[in-house]
Amino acid sequence: MYPVQPVRYVGGFTRTVGRTSVAAVMALGELSVLLGLVVTALLRDRQRRRTVVLQLYSIGYLSLPVVVLTGVSTGMVLAVQSYVTLARVKGETMTGAMVNFSLVAELAPVLTGLMLAGRVGSSVAAEIGTMKVTEQLDALRVMGTDPISYLVAPRFLACVLLMPLLVAICGAVGVGAADWLATAVWDIDKGAYWDKVRTYVDAYDIVAGLLKGVFFGGIISLVACRKGLHTEGGAAGVGTACTEGVVSASILILVGNFVLTLVFQQIHKLIY
């Protein structure tokens, strides 16, 4: 009896890993196909101006409060932690370099992406999922309207265009909050503070952070739209699609950030 138990547990674990791996590969394949359909729709069909403007307003303008709050809080927390650590070795002037590099290259794009995955991703998945379970997508097809062109492409376009701007705003307010805390409250010399920033943070780091925003915007829109298009099971299915869309987009953002960081570091070595 006892020797059978480890075999049973190992077999169950193996099946779980196998199912998860197959599901992940299938999801990546479906996202790739959806990306191809979206790009084709953007090149083939002229997007309705009103639809695009509404998505720009919903995704961009309505996300500003949470993005600004995220940037301010992150910048001030980074400043506190960096100052306390560097003060032990008399290196307070390096606070600006640590804070600015961490914000513009890593934390601003990642945290902005996670915030938008929760706010925008859930909204998009719920909206398209509701249309799916109420057969509105079928009605669009009957009327000769492609749901990818009408629903997915404008949201993808708005996310890709606005994410770098939101990342820049998040980073800028975070840098400003850290500068105020370091120079006005802790009385670090402003000239020395920004001299270290110019020494250790260059334009490449800023561009890398903005490019991450482009990728993360595409991830959020594609994952949320895919979950919405595959929604089944009525109201419960819509809730499940929202949850899975946010979780999946967040995981892909974290994994994608690691991969993009490695790629950008290699490119930086080749250039400089």
Amino acid sitting at position 167: V
What is the per-residue pLDDT for 238?
87
Q: Is residue 36 a part of any domain in this protein?
A: no
Q: Is residue 19 a part of any domain in this protein?
A: no
Give how many domains the chain has, as a whole number.
Answer: 1
Mean pLDDT of the chain: 87
What is the extent of the structural domain holding 72?
Answer: 48-271
In the predicted structure, residue 193 carries a pLDDT above the cut 60: yes
Q: Is residue 21 a part of any domain in this protein?
A: no
Q: Is residue 16 a part of any domain in this protein?
A: no
* Residue-wise pLDDT tens digits, 21-66: 777 788 788 888 888 888 888 888 787 788 888 888 988 889 999 9
**pTM exceeds cut of 0.85:** yes
Distance (Å, whole) CA 79 – CA 174: 9
Q: Is residue 126 a part of any domain in this protein?
A: yes
Distance (Å, whole) CA 242 – CA 122: 5
State whether residue 106 is helix, strand or coil.
helix
Distance (Å, whole) CA 222 – CA 229: 10
Token reading at 75? 């910048």
